[in-house]
Amino acid sequence: METRTRRKERIGLVVSNKMQKSIVVQVMRRVRHPKYGKFVKKYSKFMAHDENNDCNAGDKVRIMETRPLSRNKCWRLVEIIERAK
């Protein structure tokens, strides 16, 4: 029996939910500057599949890597951690 490799998971904020069954999630990471040593915030955006259209902008969500679902979409929504206020 084959073992499936671990899939990547990210936690981020929903930036856009204007598409049908899709959301854009912005993930922030802190990277140390190579020369000065100060921590700098770097942002990445991922398109994720939201089957039930239940996310809103500002929600904190967990997404997981999956097979390509469209040209830009290869992540899916796992859970909504915190709703926007």
Sign of CA dihedral 68, 81, 58, 29: negative
Best CATH choice for the domain 9-82 from the list 3.10.580.10, 2.40.160.10, 2.40.50.140, 3.40.50.300? 2.40.50.140
Measured CA to CA, the distance from residue 65 to residue 58 in angstroms comes to: 21
Confidence band, pLDDT 50/70/90 cuts, at residue 85: confident
Tell me how far apart the alpha carbons of residues 52 and 61 are, in angstroms, rounded to a whole number: 14
What's the rounded Cα separation, in Å, for the pair 33 and 54? Answer: 37
pLDDT digits (tens, 9 = 90+) for 17-72: 999 999 999 999 999 999 999 999 999 999 999 999 999 999 999 999 999 999 99
The distance between the two most distant Cα atoms of the chain, rounded to a whole number of Å, is: 49
Beta bridge partners, 25, equal 14, 46
Spans of all domains in the chain: 9-82
Quote the DSSP letter at residue 65.
E
